[in-house]
């Protein structure tokens, strides 16, 4: 009985940890995503990006996949972050939180996949 319980526990931990995976690129990772759901709508989310590279990031381009409770993809959206005079770039080793307000009906989960990263030295990584 203990072996069955342990097996079920391990499967549960595996599904929780790998069920919703955000994907980083070029040593830039999505370190945290928090979402706000109200009256059946995913009305906002905050994504925290961590720069693990040795360069400074001034542009991030990503795709957001919105998923309902059944695991069906209901919407896909492209988005970006670009540093300006008013918004600082992401230095090496630092994090930046970005807030978005998509207002997607019936979405309960989201996955962020980074497609391209631009650095202050002019290089781009995919």
For 22-125, the fitting CATH number among 3.40.50.150, 2.60.200.30, 2.60.40.3230, 3.30.420.60 is 2.60.40.3230
DSSP character at residue 26: T
- Predicted confidence at residue 20, as pLDDT, reads 56
Q: What percent of the chain has pLDDT over 90?
A: 75
Any idea where the domains of the chain sit in the sequence?
Answer: 22-125
| DSSP-assigned letter for residue 102 | -
The pLDDT of 1-21, averaged and rounded, is: 50
| Count of C-beta atoms within a 10 Å radius of residue 27 | 15
pTM of the model: 0.79
**pLDDT digits over 58-87, tens only?**
999 999 999 999 999 999 999 999 998 788
Q: Does 18 score more than 70 pLDDT? A: no
The distance of Cα 119 from the centroid of its chain, to the nearest Å, equals: 19
Q: Which of 81, 36, 85, 38 is nearest to 61 (CA)?
A: 81
Q: What is the pLDDT of residue 9?
A: 44
The answer on pLDDT for 6 being more than 90 is no
Could you tell me if 102 and 37 are in contact, meaning their C-beta atoms sit under 8 angstroms apart? no
Average pLDDT over residues 28-55: 95
């Amino acid at each position: 009985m203990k072996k069955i319980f342990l097996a079920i526990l391990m499967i549960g931990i595996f599904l929780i940890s790998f069920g919703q995976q955000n994907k980083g690129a070029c040593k830039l990772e999505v370190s945290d995503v928090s979402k706000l759901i109200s009256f059946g709508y995913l009305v906002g989310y905050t994504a925290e990006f961590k720069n693990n590279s040795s360069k400074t990031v001034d542009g991030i381009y990503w795709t957001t996949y919105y998923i309902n409770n059944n695991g069906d993809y209901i919407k896909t959206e492209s988005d970006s972050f670009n540093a300006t005079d008013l918004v600082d770039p992401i230095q090496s080793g630092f994090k930046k939180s970005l807030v978005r307000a998509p207002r997607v009906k019936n979405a309960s989960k989201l996955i962020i996949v980074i497609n391209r990263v631009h650095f202050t030295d002019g290089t781009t990584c995919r």
